[in-house]
Every structure is written in C-alpha cells, then in structure tokens.
Structure 1
Amino acid sequence: MSQSDHPRPRRRRPLLKVAGAFVLLALIGYFAVQYDSTNGGGGAPHCTANARPGSGGVDMTPEQAANAATIAAVGVAKGLPDRAVTIALATAMQESALRNLDHGDRDSLGLFQQRPSQGWGTPQQIKDPVYSAGIFYDRLVAIKGYSRLPLTEAAQQVQLSGFPQAYAKHEPDATVVTAAFAGDGELTCGGPAPTAPGDSEKVRTELTRIFAKDKLHAAAPARPGPAQAAGPAGKQVKEAEVAFVEKRDGGAPAARGSKAMAGWAVANSRGMGIARVSYGPAGWIAGEAKGKWQQKGGRDAKSGAVDPHGAQPGEVRIFVAR
C-alpha cells in the first residue's frame, strides 16, 4: 500500500479530536460559570420539593411544580388533610406526570385524565387545573373512610383505572411534595429572574379563585414600598405587589393555607413573572441563592433599615415583575 493511502492528517486526527474536546469542555465550563453567576446560581429552570429544608427531595420541571402547587393548594383550601393531597398528587403523577395533557386514552384529558363522557365536566373545565383538582377531591371525600384506605385503593375508587396498582409507586414522592406545600417541607425553584413583565391581576385572580371558599384569607392592600427593587446582579427591577393576609384567629388551618399560597407563588414564578415572595421570616427571590428561601431579619444588617419586602406574621407578599 502506497504512502498516499495513509495521509499524515489522518494519523493526527485522534490528537485533533482530543484537543477539540478540551476546547469544547472549556467553553461549556466558561458559559456555565457565566450563566450561573448571572442567575445567582440558579442555572436552568427547575424546582425541588423537600420534606424538610435541606433534605433530599423530588425534582420537577416548572410546569410540573406549578400543577403540583395547584393540586395541593386546592386541597388545602378545601380544608382536607395531607392524606387527601398525597392521594391526589400520586394520582396525577401516574395519570399525566403532572402535565396538563390535551390528549389521552379515548377522551381523557388534563392532569387526572378525566373523561367528559364519564361526567367529569366539559373539556374546557377538565383542562382547568383548579377545576380538575376540585372535582377529584369532591369524589375522593365521597368515599367512606378514604383516608384509611391504601393509597392505590382510594385513587382507584375515584379513577376506575385499568391499572389500579400503578398509583402505589408514586406515594413516596407525593408524600414529599405534600410536605413541601402543606407541611414542614420546602419548595425551591431556581433559574433566571423574569425578563418580561408578569400580570399581577392574574396572580390575584388565581389565588382568590383557589382560596375564596376557605374564608381564612383576604386580599390585602399593597404596603407602601419602593417602586423598584434590587434584582440579581444589582439590577433595578420594577415590581407590583399582590398580598394576602390570614384572618384573625384563623389558627393552624390559616397558617397551612398561607404556606400553600407561598409555595404556589414560587412554583408559578416562571409562568407568571413573579420576582419574589415573602412569607414568615423568609423570602424567595428569582435568580438568587439557587432558588432557595433566604432567612431575613426585620432590619438590614448594614443599613439598619426595615426590609421593605418583609412579611408580617400571617401575611404572604408576592411581587410581580412589571
């Protein structure tokens, strides 16, 4: 075989591939660092539900987290126990992977794959997560002793699925997500801060629609504060406030509702342009601290000024980019 059959560039190709790989990795690392620093460590949009702060948790996309938050909030607003919320979440995890599907087996639709032909409602109603979660709970609580049944049995009596044992495998994750929205757990959502204005009226309308019947919360007027606030990397962003406050003597049910409301706001931050949420002694800011809640004092440690975004006891403050 002649020398021309083995040209020198071919023999050097492995070295070129290795060099190219190092260059590519370096570029990926550079842009990852830049993106990470720009987003305050947020990285790509993602959410994690934890049974307690700092523990391992359940990872979700923003879409999944927003739907899970609505399912949990509707259950809490109805005054139902954690067991009911866990059953509902496990069911939606199995039926749709917490996605609001516009298709399914035969005429099945939505988070719970409910069928218009079986009396669940119109297609438009079933595609509304608040409605679909509400009617699921209504049929669940009609089952005598549902909270004492195995999860798969309770879910099956509502769903009449062809695969009744499939719900059981989601119970551990559903229990963690329930704790994040209604118990001692926590929801973190990382990713970039909103770059487009949100709709504060839509946020207020959705939360009012979910919690109107619990009689434990009322919309509160926005407190006087700055029209602009420091965002990630020191950028000034305009914010519009939506606030809800627990009614006096609401007790544990009202506090549980506030927790679900704050979690709902964080889970829906990406879709609704929510820039920050304040609840209790902590605050969540989009694009900062890798999506984690940050403990805050009543006054700024350096200036001594009162935090204009801090929440009072029993108050949930939601700030929408505008």
Structure 2
Amino acid sequence: MRWIVATVASTVVLVLVVFKLFEGGMTGAGYCVARVGDTTVEVDAEQAKWASLMAAMAHERDLTPRATTIAIATAYQESKIRNIDYGDRDSVGLFQQRPSQGWGTVEQIMDPRYSTGRFYDALVEIDDYESMEITDAAQAVQRSGFPDAYADHEADARALASALRGYSPAAFACATDPQAGTSTDLEAYLDESWGGVRVDSDPSSGQHSIALSGKQIGTRGWALAQFLVANSTEYSISEVTFDDMRWEAGQEEPGWDPTEDASSTQVRFKRG
C-alpha cells in the first residue's frame, strides 16, 4: 500500500510540475520551427517571441550571433524560454535572475527587455566569452548549481540564433492564426526591439514595408522577416515576403515558398 500511495503522490507532483511549466504562455496559439542544417527545433509562440527578442537586442547592441546563442541556451535551461514569475528561491523571469543578487527588482526582471539587457550587460564583461564553450560562458554569467546543463541546449539555441539573426534565410517559420492576435502596436514593438525601425504602410493594399540599406541588407532583412514571423500570432501578421520568398500564416507545415512578388531591399508584411 505504501508503494501505491507513493506512486500516486509522485504522479500528482509530476502533473503539477508540468502544468506549472507551461501555464500562462501562448502554447495554444500555434507553433514555430527552425530548420538549420541537420537541426530542427520546434517552439511555441511564447518561446518564439522571447527568442526573437534576444536576437533583435543582440543585433541592436552589435553583438555576435554567438551571444544570441548563449542567451537562448541559458533561457532554455533556466525557464524553457518562458517569462515565469517563480523559480528557485527568489529567481524569476526568462533567465531566473534573483533580486537578492543585484539583478534588479522583481518588476524589472519580469520585463523581458530589461532582463535580456542585463544578461547581455553581464556577458560582455566576461573576457573572451566569444571563444569560450557556450555552456561555460552561460555559467560565467549565471553561476548556476548545474554548470554543465546549458550544454544540453546548444544545438537548438544555435539553430534558433542562426535563423533569427538572419544567417539562415527562410529557416524559421510558424503555423499561426493571425486572427488570434491581441496586440496592435507592432510599430512600437519593432522600434523598441530593433532600436529604430520605420514602417511604411499602404492603406489601399493593406501592405506594410520596412526599407533596408547598407552592407547587411540580406542578413538584417532576414532577421527582421523572421522576427515578424516569430511574433505573427500576437500581432496578427498573416504574410511576410522578402528576397523572393513568402511566408503565410495558417500553414499545416510551416515554411517559406518562392515568390516573384518580393523585394530584396524591403521586408513586406500584411496583418489580419
């Protein structure tokens, strides 16, 4: 009887833990896939949102894709890339930063832009972090009790970082419902995340565009295009085109398809 009771109790605890890990996210609003080389990574809408924010903020700070990989691998281990309001002792947020350890107030850390910025602030203070093993660089920032755990997420983090930083074109796509979106101020979110992005709109066609210039048109363009896809559910984005490729919401198997109606100097998208 004791064995049976223990089994039931263990099962109940497991159910509660699994529920706690996934509650409060956007898990029912579609999913996204990054395909880079031999690696395929599937994430839900919330994970896509925060991973794309880490990529955008690293780009804004002129950090390398490796910095993005380190951030995503860390968030995978610490929170499953979810902005959770609980954790070990007083840990909260994407990176499970602790107010008692000087990372900021709970309110500040629960702001993903703040917590990601603080993570990058700490990362760039580490000498030669770009040449370190990813798990060692993450540990140097986090000082976790499980220093080797970050290595478990390296492959997935690399794929997400490569796609969301624009180095793997047409590699990140989502199957989402644009009618499920609740946020409207996409322009403000783009501006905050990318440090200044101008969106031009054509009311007659319902099309919006972001003009590109400079030496990194291709990389920045794909980073912006896949950022829009990653946030397509929340901001009701139904279509994104760039560089002769088109992504559309509502696909059963998310991906990009060739199209002649796309520009290599503008990221274009439609909403609703």
TM bucket (normalised to shorter chain) is 0.7 to 0.9
1:282 aligns with 2:245: yes
1:244 aligns with 2:244: no
Match of 2:260 among 273, 297, 300: 297
Change (3 A) 1:131 1:260: farther
Identity rate, percent: 40
Deviations 1:207-261 (A, max 9, x none): 100111xxxx64042146424xxxxxxxxxxxxx543222x3x212x54333222
2:36 equivalent in structure 1: 51
Deviations 1:150-209 (A, max 9, x none): 112111111111111111111111111111212125111114x32356544x21111100
Q: Indicate the SS of the match to 1:269.
A: coil
> Are the counterparts in 1 of residues 29 and 233 from structure 2 also a CA contact under 8 Å?
no
1:111 equivalent in structure 2: 94
Unpaired stretches in structure 2, ≥5 consecutive residues = 1-27
Amino acid at match of 1:313: S
> Are the counterparts in 2 of residues 282 and 295 from structure 1 also a CA contact under 8 Å?
yes
Whose radius of gyration is greater, 1 or 2?
1
**Shift of residue 125 of structure 1?**
2.1
Q: TM-score w.r.t. structure 2 length?
A: 0.81
Aligned residues: 243
Unpaired stretches in structure 1, ≥5 consecutive residues = 1-42, 228-240, 299-309
Alignment of structure 1 residues 26-65 onto 2, 5 Å: 45-52=30-37, 56-65=39-48
Distance 2:137 2:174 in 1: 31
1:258 equivalent in structure 2: 221
Q: Indicate the SS of the match to 1:291.
A: coil
1:184 aligns with 2:147: no
> Are the counterparts in 2 of residues 68 and 98 from structure 1 also a CA contact under 8 Å?
yes
> Are the counterparts in 2 of residues 125 and 132 from structure 1 also a CA contact under 8 Å?
yes
Q: TM-score w.r.t. structure 1 length?
A: 0.70
**Shift of residue 268 of structure 1?**
1.4
Q: Indicate the SS of the match to 1:49.
A: strand
Change (3 A) 1:123 1:255: farther
Match of 1:173 among 156, 167, 184: 156
